[in-house]
Amino acid sequence: MPCTVLVCGFFGDTGKGKMISYLAVKDKTAVTARAGVGPNAGHTVVFEGKTYKLRMLPSAFTSPDCRLLIGPGVLVNPDIFLDEIQVTRTQGRIGVDPQCAIIEPKHMEADKKGYLAEKIKSTGSGSGPCNSDRVMRVAKLARDFPKLKEFLVDVPLEVNTAISEGKNVLIEGTQGTYLSLFHGTYPYCTSKDVCAAAACSDVGVGPTNVDDVIVVFKAYNTRVGGGPLPGELSWEEAEKRGWAEIATNTGRRRRAAPFDFNLAKRAVMLNGATQVTVTKIDVLFPECKGATSYDEVSREAKAFVENIEKQLKVPVTLLGTGPGTMEVVDRREELKK
Ligand code: IMP
Ligand code: MG
C-alpha cells in the first residue's frame, strides 16, 4: 500500500493518532505527511510507556526512520511546532512547507471570544481566524518566519517523489468527516474541508496517486463543542458505559453516543473508503483488551465488527484494543486471502 490516506469518519477523536503511529511502525512507512486544519487537532499517542499529546507533528514519529512532513494546506503555530519537536526528539527528520499559513497571537485572541468561542465552541487555537486571513490573502506564511527556516522543504515534491519510488507514504488527516466545512454539521464545524480528498490536497497529492483510504471509526461516537450528535447520552450514562472522555487539546468533556450506522455509511461514501478501522473495541468489550490477533477477539466483539463490515460493505482491517501503539488486531493479511 504505497500511498494511504487516513481520516476520521465521525467527529474527530476516533484514534487516528494511534492508528497512524501503528501503521508507521508496522509498515516501516518512509514518509508521513500531516494534513488537516492545524493545531486545533489533538492526537494522543501512547508509545513505550509514554503518552504524547500532539497538535502539529505527524503521529508517525514513533517509527524512527519515518520522515515527518507538514503539508502546505495545514496551519502552523510555530511555538507548538518547535515545542513538539523537542518533546518527540525528531529534529532532523521534520519538514514544513514554506506555504503553510502561520497562526499569530491575534488569531488565537479572536478565536477565544464572540461567535466562534460562544456559539461554535471552537478550540480557541486560532485556526478559524487564520484560515479566514488566508482566504483574504493577508495571512503570513512559514517562509516569512526565520525560526522555521531550517525546517522548510517542498512537501508536495518530497511526498510525490517517495510515491513514485514505490515507498510507503501515509497522509494523516485530522478532525473528522462531520466537522468538515463542506460535509459536516454547518455551522458547527471546523474552518475547512477535512475529508480524504481535502487531506490529499493539503499535502499536494493528486487523486490518481492514492492507493488506499482508511476511514477510522470508534466503537462508539463522541463529539466536543457544539452541534448535533444523534443518540446523545447524558454524561452520567456515558460514565456508566465507560464512554466519558475528556478532550486531548482543550480538556473539555466529550459528548457521547452509540455507533451510528447512518453517519458511518455516509462517511464511507464521502471519503471513498477502501478500508475501515474500529478503535476502542476494548471499551465495548473489555475481554478484548490488548488483543493482537483476531483469534483473541471474543465472539460478541467479532459479531459487532462483522455487522459493521456487512452494513458498510468495506473490510474492517484494523481493530484498536487499547491505547498503546501496538495494541491492534491487524487483519490485512488475513482479509487478502
Ligand atoms: P475550530 O476548528 O477550533 O474552529 O472548532 C470548531 C469545532 O470543531 C468545535 O466544535 C471543535 O470542538 C471541533 N474540533 C476542531 N478540531 C477538532 C479535533 O481535532 N477533534 C475534535 N473536535 C474538533
Ligand atoms: Mg483529537
Burial of 290 (0-12, 13-18, 19+ CB in 10 A): exposed
CB atoms inside a 10 Å sphere around CB 29: 23
98 preceded by a cis bond (ω within 30 of 0): no
pLDDT at 76 over 90: yes
Say which residues have a Cβ less than 8 Å from residue 320's Cβ, sequence separation at least 6.
15, 18, 19, 277, 278, 279, 280, 281, 282, 327, 328
Q: Are 303 and 259 in contact (CB under 8 A)?
A: no
Query: How would you classify the pairing of strands 316-320 and 328-330?
Result: antiparallel
Name the average pLDDT for the chain. 97
pLDDT at 193 over 90: yes
Q: What is the mean pLDDT of residues 172-195?
A: 98
Give the C-alpha separation, 333 to 337, whole Å.
7
Give the C-alpha separation, 196 to 43, whole Å.
18
pLDDT band for position 247 (cuts 50, 70, 90): confident
pLDDT at 208 over 80: yes
Residue 183 falls in the annotated catalytic set: no
The residue whose grid cell reads 460535509 is 183
pLDDT at 290 over 80: yes
How many A from CA of 165 to the centre of ligand 2?
A: 32
pLDDT band for position 118 (cuts 50, 70, 90): very high
Encoded amino acid at 15, one letter: G
Q: What is the mean pLDDT of residues 74-99?
A: 97
Q: What is the mean pLDDT of residues 96-115?
A: 98
* Amino acid 248: pLDDT: 78
pLDDT band for position 249 (cuts 50, 70, 90): confident
pLDDT at 216 over 80: yes
Q: Are 11 and 221 in contact (CB under 8 A)?
A: yes
Residue 43 falls in the annotated catalytic set: yes
Encoded amino acid at 25, one letter: V
Q: What is the mean pLDDT of residues 269-276?
A: 98
Encoded amino acid at 118, one letter: E
* Amino acid 1: pLDDT: 62
- Return the percent helix, strand and coil in the chain, to nearest 5: 40, 20, 40
Q: What is the mean pLDDT of residues 253-266?
A: 97
Whether domain 3-98+154-336 has CATH 3.40.50.300: the reply is no
How many A from CA of 70 to the centre of ligand 2?
A: 17
Residues with CB under 6 A from ligand 1: 12-13, 37, 40-42, 120-123, 125, 127-128, 174-175, 179, 188, 190-191, 224-226
| Segment 19-30, tens digit of pLDDT | 999 999 999 999
Give the C-alpha separation, 189 to 289, whole Å.
33
Q: At what angle do helices 261-271 and 196-203 cross, to 10 degrees?
A: 40
* Amino acid 225: pLDDT: 87
Residue whose Cα lies nearest atom 1 of ligand 1: it is 122
Burial of 325 (0-12, 13-18, 19+ CB in 10 A): buried
Closest ligand 1 atom to 252 CA: 12
How many A from CA of 115 to the centre of ligand 1?
A: 14
Opening angle at CA 60, ends 59 and 61, nearest 5? 95
